[in-house]
Structure 1
Amino acid sequence: MNKQPEITEQTKRNIIDAFWKILKKKRLDKITVKEIADVAGYNRSTFYAYFTSVSDILEQEENILLHYIHDNASKILFPHLIKGLRPKASDLYFFTKSEHLKILLSENGDPKFKGKLKKTIVPIAFNAFNLPKDNIHAEYLCEFCFSAVISTIIHWYDNQEIEIDELFDILWTMVTKGVLFEYKKLI
């Protein structure tokens, strides 16, 4: 597998692309290795050279995405929020990774992904705002904010009736005029 790294990487990419293509149209629990291999143009043994199961490809892809989201939220989103600056919507993870997030958060996607996303983002919020870890009010504020923002983004993914910048204006106002006031009272 390592003799031709470019071909190896392209084969893996083709399998991953086939997975996303199928997941876009079909529920996760109905996807088979054979189906992914067929769509990618390979046999099942080629699939197994890269992944152990459908769950494995999902987990690897989610981990890559969650790592990106962690970096993006840590380096762009929350530093801007702390300073009261508005980042560009096009720089934020929910836009830059919208294709995969939209699929994972859809009815066909991973029902556990929203929880994984929350476990990635909420600790960053606690650290960014220096919120006490054992404060029940802080937990409820973070829960409210995460749920409101993610539900709004999912609604946008499903409908896309407005442009990304308009959506971000709504989210920005909701977060900075509503939730941030409560965060600052806890500090």
Structure 2
Amino acid sequence: MSKISRKEETRHNFVEAFWTLYVSKPLDKITVKEITDLAGYNRGTFYTYFADVYEVLETEKKLLLPSEETIIERLKMLSDDQAPLEGSFEDVSHCIRENRARIAILLGPEGDPGFQYELKARFRRVILDFADDIGIQELSDYEYIIEYQVSGMIGICQRWVENEEDITEERLGMIYERVFNEGVMRITTEMFRAAKKSG
């Protein structure tokens, strides 16, 4: 085993130990000793990789944020008249699905309240920069549209994870796309009317 791969393995073991502890206890209750005991290393080795428990979390949060390309790929296609936005949920949900257990911890009641803000801020910054680049004039208005849409996307993914993925990802994507394309009020009105007819 090379030095690089051994270092990567050691770091990985610390990270895995951290997440194992973070599932069951708040961040401020996790100690370096608990991480090192669980990972099977001494405290000195831990400090080779991280300054403290908080740095482990901050480093990991950055890895969980979607890439710029993931966020704006569909928007690029739309601006080039190549394709509609259908399927836009798939790109982001794939990123969320790959990391769903850790994202669920961060968005959960014992998680990091700042993570949702950071997630939304990343989407907002990347999309607004792209909108500015292509010459959208109403950037102030568009910022609110982005906020509404991103909050909905994060919320629907959070609910899905909390519900232990009770529906398929494809079904979840269809729900999101329907809301995105048709709007909440139209869908709600249709559902209420259908319920009234069948009742």
Quickly name the TM-score band, shorter chain normalised: 0.7 to 0.9
Question: Contact between 2:89 and 2:177, CA under 8 Å: does it hold in 1?
Answer: no
> How many residue pairs align between the two structures?
174
State the alpha-carbon separation in 1 of the partners of residues 179 and 44 from structure 2: 50
State the alpha-carbon separation in 1 of the partners of residues 112 and 138 from structure 2: 28
Residue 142 of structure 1 is matched in structure 2 by 146
1:5 aligns with 2:4: yes
In the TM superposition, what are the counterparts of 1:90-129 in structure 2 within 5 Å? 92-129=94-131
State the alpha-carbon separation in 1 of the partners of residues 68 and 107 from structure 2: 17
**Which segments of 5 or more consecutive residues in structure 2 lack a partner in the other structure?**
185-199
Which amino acid is 1:176 matched to? N
User: What are the Cα deviations for residues 27-55 of structure 1, in whole angstroms up to 9, with x where unaligned?
Assistant: 22221111111111112111111000111
In the TM superposition, what are the counterparts of 1:23-172 in structure 2 within 5 Å? 23-66=22-65, 68-75=66-73, 77-79=74-76, 83-84=83-84, 85-86=86-87, 89=90, 92-129=94-131, 130=134, 131-132=136-137, 134-135=139-140, 137-159=141-163, 160-172=165-177
Flag the structure with larger Rg.
2
State the alpha-carbon separation in 2 of the partners of residues 127 and 9 from structure 1: 34
Higher relative contact order (CA 8 A, sep 6+): 1
State the alpha-carbon separation in 1 of the partners of residues 63 and 8 from structure 2: 16
**TM-score by structure 1 length?**
0.80
Which amino acid is 1:155 matched to? R
Q: For residue 92 of structure 1, give the secondary structure of its aligned residue in structure 2.
A: helix
Task: Give the % identical residues.
Answer: 32
Note the aligned Cα RMSD (angstroms). 2.5
**TM-score by structure 2 length?**
0.76
Question: Contact between 1:89 and 1:95, CA under 8 Å: does it hold in 2?
Answer: no
Which amino acid is 1:158 matched to? E
**Which segments of 5 or more consecutive residues in structure 1 lack a partner in the other structure?**
180-187
Question: Contact between 1:80 and 1:86, CA under 8 Å: does it hold in 2?
Answer: no
